[in-house]
Amino acid sequence: DSLCELKVTLQAVFDRLTKFNLTLDPAKLQLCKPEITYLGFDLNANGFSPSEQNVNKVTNFPRPKNLKQVQMFLGMLNYFRGLIYDYAGIVEPLVKLTKKNTPFVWSVECENAFNTVQEIILKKPTLKNFDPNLPISLITDASKIAICGILLQKKDNVYYPLEFFSRKLTPAECKYPSIRRELLAIYASVRHFHDQLLGENFELLTDAKPLTEYQSLDKKPEIVARWLLYLGTFSFTPTHIPGSLNPADFLSRVVEENSLNVNNITLFQPNDKLSMQNISIEQKQDAILSKIMNDLSVNKQCKQYFLDVNSGLLMIKNAHKNKKKIVNRIVIPKSLIKVCIETAHAPHFGVRKTFEFIRHKYQWRGMYLDTKNFCEHCEKCLENKPKAKLTQTQMIPKRNLAPGQCIAIDVVGKLPRSTDNKNFILTIIDHYSRYLEAYPLQNITSRTIINCLNKYFANFGLPKFLITDNATNFISNEMVEFLDRLNIQHRKSSIYYPMANGLLERAHRTMKES
pLDDT tens digit sequence for 6-40: 888 889 999 999 988 889 888 888 887 888 787 77
* 322 burial level (CB within 10 Å; 0-12, 13-18, 19+): exposed
The whole-model pTM stands at: 0.41
pLDDT tens digit sequence for 438-492: 888 888 888 988 988 888 888 888 888 888 888 888 888 888 888 888 888 888 8
**How many angstroms from the chain centroid is the CA of residue 173?**
16
Q: Which residue has the higher pLDDT, 16 or 89?
A: 16
How many Å apart are CA 349 and CA 341, to the nearest integer?
Answer: 12
pLDDT tens digit sequence for 383-399: 766 555 544 434 445 55
- Is CATH 3.10.20.370 the classification given to domain 130-257? yes
Share of the chain above pLDDT 90, in %: 3
Banded model confidence at residue 212, pLDDT cuts 50, 70, 90: low
On the question of pLDDT at 268 being above 60, the answer is no
> What is the per-residue pLDDT for 479?
87
Q: Which of the listed CATH numbers 3.30.70, 3.40.720, 1.10.1740, 1.10.1060 matches domain 33-123?
A: 3.30.70
How many Å apart are CA 110 and CA 97, to the nearest integer?
Answer: 9
* Local structure of 505: helix, strand or coil: helix
Mean pLDDT in residue range 82-104: 82
Banded model confidence at residue 251, pLDDT cuts 50, 70, 90: very low
> What is the per-residue pLDDT for 187?
92
Mean pLDDT in residue range 338-349: 83
* 505 burial level (CB within 10 Å; 0-12, 13-18, 19+): middle
Topology given in CATH for the domain delimited by 276-382: Endonuclease III; domain 1 (1.10.340)
Structural domain boundaries in the chain: 33-123, 130-257, 276-382, 406-513
* 357 burial level (CB within 10 Å; 0-12, 13-18, 19+): buried
C-alpha dihedral sign at 268, 272, 273, 275: positive
* 372 burial level (CB within 10 Å; 0-12, 13-18, 19+): middle
How many Å apart are CA 509 and CA 345, to the nearest integer?
Answer: 18
The identity of residue 314, as a single letter, is: L
Mean pLDDT in residue range 252-263: 39
> What is the per-residue pLDDT for 188?
92
Phi, psi of 221 (to 5 degrees): -60, 145
The CATH code for residues 406-513 is 3.30.420.10
3-state secondary structure labels for all residues of 130-154: CCCCCCEEEEEEECCCEEEEEEEEE
